[in-house]
Amino acid sequence: MNTYTEEEKQQADIIFNETLGKVNLGFDPEILNVLDDPESSEQQRDDIKKKLSQDIVAHLILLANSAYLGNITAGKAATFAAVIMRLGTIYIKIFIIGFGLLALAKDERSRALLAKSFSAAVVGKLLAEQLNWNKEYVQRVEVCCLFLEIGKILLFLYENMQETTLAADFIDRYHLFMAQKIVEKFKLPDYIGRSVFCVFGDTSLNYNHNSMSTEGAVMMAYATVNYIFSREHRLVVRSPMPSAVDDLGLTPGKAIYNYLTALSMSSSYLKIVAERDKGERS
């Protein structure tokens, strides 16, 4: 795990305070208190939608109703409180923080990084499900992948605000520390920070007691997506898609497409190569 000198920590504090200390991420901070409070009422949780941008609310509702999340038989979420129940408070927090930073950064580098994180979330979720992990740990992998590049996006925001350019090696080293400070500021679980350091600051695969760790699954998902992006500059998935005569049908490829679209990922970063379902007759 990377260590930082006191001078480095002070420099990181300056950057952090010049960005998240001064900007408005587009949501009322009281939202986070309501999400963190297990005793908050259903009405309080439903009222959160009034304190978020309509764009964020729309994407979260799409995600909650996505068949990719296993809710196709549950019907539409009737209230925003139901959306929170389906997605989980940690997922909601990471999405609104990431979406807020992206809206402020407004550059293609940040969009590309978020696209890579969204893609890793898909691969990580599929991997954890194939390992037969329970829902809690599947979502841990998913939210950690969503968070992976957020420290870099914060540094890109700093560059835009200060009209300066940070050295590439500076960004590679400091984005880990920025991610950890975001974890602390927004009271996110420690396992998220550990996963970021495992992917970018470690050179080993965490495996013990005959099982893969959350950090190990996140590392494998990110490595897979990073390799695909390095060659294709987008996520390429080979998966069954609906037929021309049943374009409303749900297939694995369509479910992945719906999920990434709900996450606001640009179609330029996604390509689904349609393949015949093995269950279909030739």
Given this model, what pLDDT does residue 282 score? 38
31-73: pLDDT as tens digits: 989 999 989 999 999 999 998 888 888 888 888 887 565 555 5
The closest of 63, 207, 200 to 121, measured between CA atoms, is 63
- Mean pLDDT for 88-100 is 86
The closest of 153, 141, 134 to 219, measured between CA atoms, is 141
Q: What mean pLDDT, rounded, does the chain reach? A: 83
For the chain, the straight-line distance linking the first and the last C-alpha, in angstroms and rounded, comes to 52
SS3 state of residue 240 = coil
pTM higher than 0.85 for the full model? no
The closest of 69, 108, 68, 129 to 234, measured between CA atoms, is 108
Q: What is the 3-state secondary structure (H, E, C) of 84-128?
A: HHHHCHHHHHHHHHHHHHHHHHCCHHHHHHHHHHHHHHHHHHHHH
